[in-house]
Amino acid sequence: MFQRLQQKWRVGPLQIVLIILCFALGGSLTGYTAKKIMDLLSVEEDWLWTIVYLLAVTVIWPLAVLFVSFFFGQFKFFRSYVARISQRIGVIPGQQLAVQGSGSAGSSRPGVQNSGSIPSTQHSPLATNIAIFASGAGSNAQKIIDHFRGSGMAKIALIVCNRKKAGVLQIAEKEHIPFLVIEKEKFFSGNGYLDELASRKIDFLVLAGFLWKIPESLLRAFPKRIINIHPALLPKYGGQGMYGNFVHEAVIGAREKESGITIHYVDEHYDNGDIILQVQCPVLDGDTPELLADRIHELEHANYPIVIEELVKKLQATSDQP
């Protein structure tokens, strides 16, 4: 049970213990306070006593759990949790949930942690926090950032990169997005930087030109919440070493008549997860890998952000209370 809650809330082992402790103490405080209130009211009718007691518990519980969470350093988590429940039951509308915060599909269609100064922006606590994993220049990352700029639905909360001089890190700095430069040994032999992702409350991982295989620790922590985009029509021209112009050279060398993009869930194998969307484009006579890459990039930029948005909507719609 603890592992499922840890995966759902995207928190580390210590934080899940503190959260459960806050639930327990908050519940006890709620029951005690409600009982004292009922004693003062002296309600005699059993049916009326039950109704009033339930109403009192409903009002007191969010206040009690927020009060307790403050002393255990979990106020931010419970503020978002209470806000989510309140919106679900219609107590407060979505537009009233904006708070000051910082740093924290189907159809075909055309290291060291480091962060800069992050300006305060209006950001809903219900927004899905996305981490983009990239190894190169970051053109797809830029399009995704642009797509969700100012969105109350999702926030690009972190850029993760395995190369210290990759262009995507310049994008992170320009966009004032925190970034994390990861080391190979810790990524594969440790817990895949799960603690760092949990500290940023990351809900969803998007691979955008990320060249390392995703370790089992992250696959377990983010089931069906890690996606990748591949510059070919899988299952052809996928697998280890098949990225960038290597893919386009193979497609042209095989005299294929079409290529395209594949957006898919990530599993334990390279380019092997369930396919979410494929979009085709022609391979023209006289194509070079660079010319074909240009058309592939157009498809990536046009489709990847939209698919991410649709998956985030689905994720939010199916996310229930634990």
β-pairing verdict for 179-181 and 154-161: parallel
DSSP 95: G
| Type of residue found at 16 | I
| Separation of alpha carbons 247 and 38, rounded Å | 71
Kindly tell me the burial class for residue 123, based on how many C-beta atoms sit within 10 Å of its own C-beta (0-12, 13-18, 19 or more): buried
Residue 225's nearest CA partner among 200, 202, 205, 196 is 205
| Separation of alpha carbons 83 and 70, rounded Å | 16
Catalytic (active-site) positions: 230
Q: How far is CA 304 from the centre of its chain?
A: 15
Structure tokens at 125: 């606590």
Task: Answer for the pair 126, 102: CB distance below 8 angstroms, yes or no.
Answer: no
